[in-house]
Structure 1
Amino acid sequence: MLRVLTLSSLFPDASRPNFGVFVEGQMLGLAAHPDVALKLVAPLGLPPWPLGHRGRYAQLSALPQHEDWKGVETWRPRFLNLPGTGGRFHAAMLTRALVPLLSRIRRDFPFDVIDASFFFPDGPAAVALGRRFGVPVSIKARGADIHHWGRAPATAAQVIAAAQAADGLLAVSQAMKADIAALGIAPDRIRVHHTGVDLTRFAPRDQGTAKAALGIDGPLIVSIGALIPRKGHDMVIDAVSALPGVQLRIAGEGPERPRLAAQIARLGLEDRVRLLGSVAHGDLPPLLAAADVMALASSSEGLANAWIEAVASGTPIVIPAAGGAAEVVTSPAAGRIAGRTAPAFAAAIGELLAAPPARDAVRAAAAGFTWEANTAALYDHLSGLVASRAQSSG
């Protein structure tokens, strides 16, 4: 039996059910493996009192520190998040918080490996903890954890040092692997580990019925992602403004909402463009099945789950050449990789609306992205690290 301690600061909770839902999917898949026993540690970074009990942090402070999360024993320890430091002390504070907790967990659950499912601050902390408890460590890179923290002056050295010291490295796409290698890490130490999608839930449906349920008659574009500058929702809005009669629904929440609402009003698009706010992950399948195109103009990604969920639903995508885009858009039916400008997006969306690909042909692009494949590869990776450690120790 492989005993796995999964560590991820990017993970859903009762106050943020969509936060890191793809990490949850990976964890639940591995936990269900017949030869795996798994415990989860999902830390919460909070600023010092009283800030840690106010505003957006109040709900996090109120979360239980120990609970059963969908059948998995879960701890949510708090670590000190010092504002204004650029994340410089995140990993050290996380390590300090986790040493006593992992010492207690280890009494009854002598974990064989630490599986860090996000690179920062989890990765550097996992390396320190792996050394302390004498177990191998795997770290997975997903996107912003490398693109931001791996380049930020206060944290880049910590990310690189953790990558060099980890026993195993995972990257969510070939492009992400190249980005890690660009930090000076040997490419042969990095294994590509694609995300998964539930092909039962995300599947084509009767599009007319799905649109009618949304009160839409005509072409529908959907964009899914947090309302932050990196996701490029403003660019998709501009693109749709050039496509008469086309509706746009944006699922996500974030600080850019007021600016995007003002843009929609300025362009006179209130009757065609709607900000849906945060949409529960379980409510995304009918929205994607209704759409003619899913368009997301991100400036950077690892390999967005929204891409995979869209094509699994039979909905082609329009995305820039960001991250693993070329690993998903492998045929014209899957969609278009467009220049990251509103005119380029409008042209690509227009092409797909004029000649819609067969939805089963679109869905074929998702065939290799299953949670079953994700689980099998992760088990092989982690068990291999444990076997290598045992062999070197023997």
Structure 2
Amino acid sequence: MPNGASHKQPLRILFVQTQAEMAGAQEISRLLGQELSSPSNDGTPALEIHHLFLYRKTAGCDHFPNVHFVARERPSGLLGAARFVGRLFAVMRELRPDVVLPFQHYGNIVAAPVARLMGVPRIIANHVSAPATISRPVRLIDRVLGLSGFYDVITVNSHATWRDYQSYPARYTRRIVHVPHGFAQRISTLDKSASRARFGLPLDAAIIGTVARLHPLKRIDLAIATLPLLPQVHLAIAGQGPDEERLRACALEYGVRERVHFVGEMDGSGVADFLVGLDQFVFPSAAETFGLAAVEAAQAGLPVVAHDLPVLREVLDVDGKPCAHFVDAADTGAFAAAIQQNFDNPAQAAAMGALGRRLAERYSLSAMVDAYRDLILSKSLPATSSDELHRPHLASSGP
């Protein structure tokens, strides 16, 4: 058995993320870890799950079971980088994982080489970072690692992401498997008034909201820019990140500071409670590989107004019908008009919300977990043929 595991010992699985904070990729690995640590319905034994973060950004992941941190802060300078790499080797040597699943671009290019050098027999890389967030040098390193066999499997979460890699050589693309994100259906016990009271939001106002890491690519400033055109509307923002100071300055510049509410980072149950208090969900992000926050909001029954990205049109679709209103979010007038339209036409908004609730059928948590369990337990590359190299590999069904 790999790494000295006996038949009585569960496989030890190590999820590796770049930074510890509550965001989409971290939530996916949390859900996977939670589900894989229990036996499957067909009797497959539970796996021993550990989570490793390259550095701790917030306390948002401190509650994960078997959680480890390479560093408390992002390393800087040559000496800091050297100490960081040494510590990463030490942690992996102590954990002795049988399978490593790195997430995000830095997780892939940092953890996969270390794991391979230490003899980890199976490495499943996960492309959950939008290409716009990945620098050219990092993409080059990732390409070299994939071509050199440092990754046994590479998962992507959407057809759009799969297409981003189809110019790569077949030696890389044959390792790619499409595993759509799944999510847990969270049911809040709060009503709208209780939700708003919990997060300090006005009880009687019209409220649009978003959930995102506060990063410039999420373009939450474009949502703030709609407020002068929507004088009765408030915006609630859930999340944390480096763009918060600029966003607060934007609210001040537009004269809407009193109508913009920063409610901070929250876990999954907090997000469920937060969504209950909203009238609409807005998602002006410039780059996504899936858009989990928008999918969860739509599934919660909220009308969604999203930036017109191909990947969002792909994932926010039920039987060929969009369950979101797509606009060019950079066109402030069009963005505001789409929001106002949902307020003016509640029947249309309700129909959109009802359609969105059906996304739970499309993005099953159990299907995602089963797909990853199969990849973890497999001893070989995903089965491929020459014709399949030109289309996504669906983990649970045909394209």
Query: In the aligned structure 2, how far is the partner of 1:255 from the partner of 1:81?
Result: 14
CA contact (8 A) 1:308 1:328 kept: yes
Query: In the aligned structure 1, how far is the partner of 2:188 from the partner of 2:29?
Result: 17
Q: State the SS of the aligned residue for 1:357.
A: helix
2:224 corresponds in structure 1 to: 237
Q: State the SS of the aligned residue for 2:106.
A: coil
CA contact (8 A) 1:303 1:323 kept: no
Query: In the aligned structure 1, how far is the partner of 2:18 from the partner of 2:110?
Result: 15
CA contact (8 A) 2:16 2:53 kept: yes
1:357 corresponds in structure 2 to: 350
Query: In the aligned structure 2, how far is the partner of 1:68 from the partner of 1:33?
Result: 24
What is the CA deviation profile of residues 32-77 of structure 1, one whole-angstrom value per residue up to 9, with x for unaligned ones? 244232232414349xxxxxxxxx7xx89xx9xxx9954x433323
Amino acid at match of 1:103: R
Query: In the aligned structure 2, how far is the partner of 1:329 from the partner of 1:137?
Result: 30
CA contact (8 A) 1:224 1:250 kept: yes
What is the CA deviation profile of residues 78-98 of structure 1, one whole-angstrom value per residue up to 9, with x for unaligned ones? 49965378xxx97x8766444
1:336 corresponds in structure 2 to: 325
2:76 corresponds in structure 1 to: 83
Does 2:309 correspond to 1:322?
yes
Does 2:149 correspond to 1:163?
no
2:89 corresponds in structure 1 to: 99
1:289 corresponds in structure 2 to: 276
CA contact (8 A) 2:206 2:234 kept: yes
Query: In the aligned structure 1, how far is the partner of 2:33 from the partner of 2:310?
Result: 23
Query: In the aligned structure 2, how far is the partner of 1:209 from the partner of 1:100?
Result: 47
CA contact (8 A) 2:238 2:262 kept: yes
Choose from 45, 67, 73 the match for 2:66: 73
Query: In the aligned structure 2, how far is the partner of 1:171 from the partner of 1:323?
Result: 15
Q: 1:177 to 1:124 in 2, by over 3 A?
A: farther
Query: In the aligned structure 2, how far is the partner of 1:18 from the partner of 1:120?
Result: 15
Query: In the aligned structure 2, how far is the partner of 1:134 from the partner of 1:206?
Result: 48
Q: 1:357 to 1:270 in 2, by over 3 A?
A: same
Query: In the aligned structure 2, how far is the partner of 1:102 from the partner of 1:371?
Result: 28
CA contact (8 A) 2:13 2:50 kept: yes
Query: By how many angstroms is 1:223 displaced?
Result: 1.4
Query: In the aligned structure 1, how far is the partner of 2:29 from the partner of 2:251?
Result: 33
Choose from 269, 272, 277 the match for 2:264: 277
TM-score, structure 1 as length reference? 0.77
Task: Extract unaligned runs of 5+ from structure 1.
Answer: 47-55, 390-394
CA contact (8 A) 2:327 2:335 kept: yes
Q: State the SS of the aligned residue for 1:77.
A: strand
CA contact (8 A) 1:197 1:308 kept: no
Query: In the aligned structure 2, how far is the partner of 1:162 from the partner of 1:223?
Result: 36
Does 2:165 correspond to 1:180?
yes
Query: By how many angstroms is 1:354 displaced?
Result: 2.5
Q: State the SS of the aligned residue for 1:302.
A: coil
Query: In the aligned structure 1, how far is the partner of 2:67 from the partner of 2:316?
Result: 36
Please identify, of 225-234 and 174-183, the stretch whose mean Cα deviation from structure 2 is larger. 174-183
Amino acid at match of 1:158: I
Query: By how many angstroms is 1:31 displaced?
Result: 2.2
Query: By how many angstroms is 1:234 displaced?
Result: 0.8
Choose from 143, 152, 155 the match for 2:136: 152
1:40 corresponds in structure 2 to: 50
Once superposed, what is the RMSD of the aligned Cα atoms?
3.5
What is the CA deviation profile of residues 167-195 of structure 1, one whole-angstrom value per residue up to 9, with x for unaligned ones? 11101221112223345565443112222
CA contact (8 A) 2:208 2:279 kept: yes
Task: Extract unaligned runs of 5+ from structure 2.
Answer: 1-6, 383-399
Percent of aligned pairs sharing the same letter:
20
Q: State the SS of the aligned residue for 1:227.
A: coil
Query: By how many angstroms is 1:222 displaced?
Result: 0.3
Does 2:255 correspond to 1:268?
yes
CA contact (8 A) 1:143 1:176 kept: no
Query: By how many angstroms is 1:246 displaced?
Result: 1.6
2:336 corresponds in structure 1 to: 346
Query: In the aligned structure 1, how far is the partner of 2:308 from the partner of 2:359?
Result: 17
Query: In the aligned structure 2, how far is the partner of 1:74 from the partner of 1:250?
Result: 28
Query: In the aligned structure 2, how far is the partner of 1:292 from the partner of 1:241?
Result: 18
1:199 corresponds in structure 2 to: 185
Q: State the SS of the aligned residue for 2:17.
A: coil
Choose from 209, 215, 237 the match for 1:222: 209
Does 2:116 correspond to 1:122?
no
Q: 1:134 to 1:357 in 2, by over 3 A?
A: same
Q: 1:242 to 1:305 in 2, by over 3 A?
A: same
CA contact (8 A) 2:186 2:272 kept: no
What is the CA deviation profile of residues 362-393 of structure 1, one whole-angstrom value per residue up to 9, with x for unaligned ones? 21123322322221111122222x2569xxxx
Please identify, of 263-272 and 179-188, the stretch whose mean Cα deviation from structure 2 is larger. 179-188
Amino acid at match of 1:357: A
1:355-394 to structure 2, matched below 5 A, reads 355=345, 356-358=349-351, 359-384=353-378, 386=379
Amino acid at match of 2:145: A
1:244-259 to structure 2, matched below 5 A, reads 244-259=231-246
Report how many residues are paired.
356
Amino acid at match of 1:192: H
Q: 1:82 to 1:319 in 2, by over 3 A?
A: same
What is the CA deviation profile of residues 155-214 of structure 1, one whole-angstrom value per residue up to 9, with x for unaligned ones? 2321112233211110122111222334556544311222222214369x7546645764
